[in-house]
Chains A and B, each alone.
Chain A
Amino acid sequence: MRYARSVLPPVVVGVVAIILWQVTVTAGRIAPFILPAPSAIWDEFVVQRANIWEAALASGANALIGLIAGAVLGVLAAMASSRFRPLAEVSLPFAAVLNALPIIALAPILNNMFESTSSIPRRLVAAIIVFFPVFINTLRGLREVNPIHQELMRTYAASGWTFARKVRLPGALPHVFTGLRQASSLAVIAAVVAEYFGGLQNGLGSRITSAAAFTAYPRAWAFVVGACLLGLVFYLTTLLLERLAMPWRTRLIA
């Protein structure tokens, strides 16, 4: 009952929005190259489902590899920075610069650095984009240690490494997942959009551009829907992992 009450409103709003969209396009005779009707997009989605699936697998693999690499690096860098204060002072502005950089703009350059059959550029772009939110959030989490926990561990004569493993890391987990949640969607966006700038053309990004180039707008939209679903899968998987990794939080909700 409670579940239904929390799910129902967004579903109703979504259905109403799609119906309005359909009615506006058909009744208003809007040209399909401006905005195709949802029914047309759905038809293309069904026709192209095998292609969408294949392209989504390629983009998904790129996003996943980039996400894992960027997240691991982000966590490791945050651990090193929290351990050695001077490192944090150097790395924070550096990370801020990295974040301010429009990473997608690097895609053409990276594409030229590697062979045209290489998947590395897209994964690299995803990894760089993922790095920042994971690094910043993890660092914040690692630094926020309850002073009582600190004193307690001192009374237990715990070493620095024991302290990091038993207190700092688990204490930072909520922050790590805040970073990962942002990063998971970003990784998909990066993996898809990086294809707009050349490189290997087997993912969702290249399908969208080529469909648009052939003025096959409903098909382009169908692939956009595919990209949206892929991003959703990444986001929900991260949420699920978060619940599994932090049972002490989920049990409070249940």
Chain B
Amino acid sequence: MSAVVVSSVTKTFNPGRPDEVVALSDVDLTVGDGEFVSLIGPSGCGKSTLLRLIADLIAPTTGTVTVAGKPAGVARKEQAYGIAFQQSGLFEWRTVLRNVELPLELRGLAKAERKAKAEEMLALVGLEEFAGHYPAQLSGGMQQRVAIARALAVQPPLLLMDEPFGALDEMTRERLQSELLAICAKTGTSTVFVTHSISEAVFLSDRVVVMSARPGRITASIPVGLPTRDEAARQSEHYFESVTAVRQALRGTPLKSAS
């Protein structure tokens, strides 16, 4: 069974009005179980819209979205996915631990159980010592790690991420990328990852889905699958070939260069 199936989805904002925008036009996308898929494209190509459709935060104009074999709305109500945004969106009045506990709380877990689970998640992102801190006492990178721990708290089969590392500095970003990969490998989570960084998409993904704007549509799907995901991988031939392939797909024309 596939983690996500998006079939012939169109999304039009403000239909029938002068400010009508076709955000997505006839999009098909399948994410396999345990697969890591990145959505990349210029601003306004609808990659965030596509992610929000999968999350059932907005409804498609036409077409269907299926998550883990169920309609997206049902999947959302069952908390079948975890989500993280560019801003951590932590609740500043809750401690780090209680932030991670929140999705469990809303699932009705007993206090001791959700505390144990939240502590486990914090350990996963290496922040167990900061459980009693408030979000404002943490750096941006740490806040984002808490947000990821929170997204993983219900141990969802699917992780949706909307430029989660977009606001971080390069060093923190690379460290978090490696951490995320380790977590996904350990938990077997399928991931849909929105980014506008080519290197990030290539390094993280099994497959990079390239989108273009006006109207938003998928123009290419490039399998990457680096054999390893370490520092050496960032220097490998395979990595640079994939970066070039994605860049060409984004430009819509093959590069007229050396090779």
Contacts and interface: CB of A to CB of B under 8 A. Distances in A.
B106 A162 contact: yes
B24 to A, nearest CB: 18
Interface stretch (B83-91, B177-185, B244-252): B83-91
Interface residues of A, number: 21
A155 B89 CA distance: 13
Interface residues of B, number: 23
Given A152-B83, A251-B137, A158 B106 contact: yes
A167 interface: yes
B157 to A, nearest CB: 14
Output the residue of B55, B77, B78, B91 with the most chain A CB within 10 A: B91
A156 B137 CA distance: 25
B102 interface: yes
B76 interface: yes
Interface of B is mostly: loop
Contact of B93 (A151, A154, A162, A171): A171
A155 B83 contact: yes
Interface in B96-110: 102-103, 106
A247 B85 CA distance: 26
Contacts of B95: 248
A251 B130 CA distance: 14
Contacts of B76: 154-155, 157
Contacts, number: 53
A148 B167 CA distance: 15
Contacts of A152: 83, 89
Contact of B87 (A148, A155, A246, A251): A148
Interface of A is mostly: helix
A147 B137 CA distance: 22
Interface in B191-225: none
A166 interface: yes
A243 interface: no
B92 interface: yes
A171 to B, nearest CB: 7
A220 to B, nearest CB: 46
Interface in B59-84: 76-79, 81, 83
A156 B79 CA distance: 6
Interface string B219-235: 00000000000000000
Interface in B115-152: 134-137
Contact of B102 (A146, A166, A171): A166
24 contacts: A146-B89, A148-B89, A149-B89, A149-B91, A151-B85, A151-B89, A155-B55, A155-B76, A155-B83, A156-B102, A157-B77, A157-B78, A157-B79, A157-B106, A158-B106, A162-B106, A166-B91, A170-B93, A248-B93, A248-B135, A251-B134, A251-B137, A252-B136, A252-B137
Interface of B: 55, 57, 76-79, 81, 83, 85, 87, 89, 91-95, 102-103, 106, 134-137
